[in-house]
Amino acid sequence: MNEIKRLETTVRGQTISYLELGDGPRTLLLLHGITSDASNWLSTMPALAQRGWRVIAPDQLGFGQSSKPSVPVRPRTLSDMVAPLLDALGLEMVSIVGQSMGGHVAGLFAAQYPERVEALVLVNAGYGLALPEVKDPRDLGHAVTPGGLWALNPATRDDSRRLLEMVFHDQGLVTEELIDGFYADRLGKGDGAVIRSISESWARREDTLESAFTGLERRPVLVIQARQDKVAPYHLGRAIHEGIAGSRFVVLEDCGHAPPLEAPEVFNKTLTEFLV
């Protein structure tokens, strides 16, 4: 099998960098979460490519090696980039897997363009569903997470440690090396502005994932929820499943907010069983 390639294309005047692997007849689009990028899927891509998929994982607008726009980016901004991205890559229909924020983006897109989505997988996508509406910007930080915006946009190494301890159920994975690498990565990628604007959009309840539920009914939708997720807790994943008529629901045990990183084998098995 070929190696993962790093490529780029232009979408609405913005550079979108993406990873690609495989040359199968069907395409799988992987959408990462906030404080992440396409590298989130490095353990997922080979497993799906081996099953005959062409797998594409973009750095979403504002993240990773993609353009950093000067205007605020919202979940709807990101979902509006998906159709022109598919057009630029010559793709009419794809299956989509979205984790966390990526699930929110995937749900909005699939509800708007059902004819372009063969199947949809939402992974720990409940973050934001239970947030109160906030009108005073001074209250945004503590509305987004109990610890404030640091939890999504860590400003110090200690903040990075606390975020990783929230993300992973197995605390043994939160090594000093991981913390150092994550903190350096965040400083180097310059995605703080987009993280803040998306966080503020969540707190203001703009274009919520719930608004897409009706458009996703009775379509091939799998909701994956980790039992020990501290960022988007179990009850929110259950609410997504119950809100999307006809969806399937799979619970991952002994796993936190990032199944592709913490439990890649069981996560990949769950995906391949659904995406037949």
Instruction: Kindly report the CATH number assigned to the domain that includes residue 91.
Output: 3.40.50.1820
Question: Is 48 contained in some domain?
Answer: yes
**Torsion, Cα of 152, 262, 178, 228 (10° steps):** 50
Give the number of domains in the chain: 1
Q: Are 168 and 256 in contact (CB under 8 A)?
A: yes
- Asked if residue 177 is part of any domain, the answer here is no
Residue 198 lies in a domain: no
CB 89 within 8 A of CB 56: yes
Query: Are 231 and 146 spatial neighbours (Cβ–Cβ below 8 Å)?
Result: no
- Is 94 part of any domain? yes
In-domain check, residue 158: no
Domain assignment of residue 249, given as a range: 5-130+207-274
Q: What number is the average pLDDT over the span 65-73?
A: 92
pLDDT tens per residue, range 199-248:
888 878 888 899 999 999 988 999 999 999 988 899 999 999 999 999 99
Give tens-digit pLDDT for 20-68. 999 999 999 999 998 899 999 999 999 999 999 999 999 999 999 999 9
122-129 average pLDDT score: 86
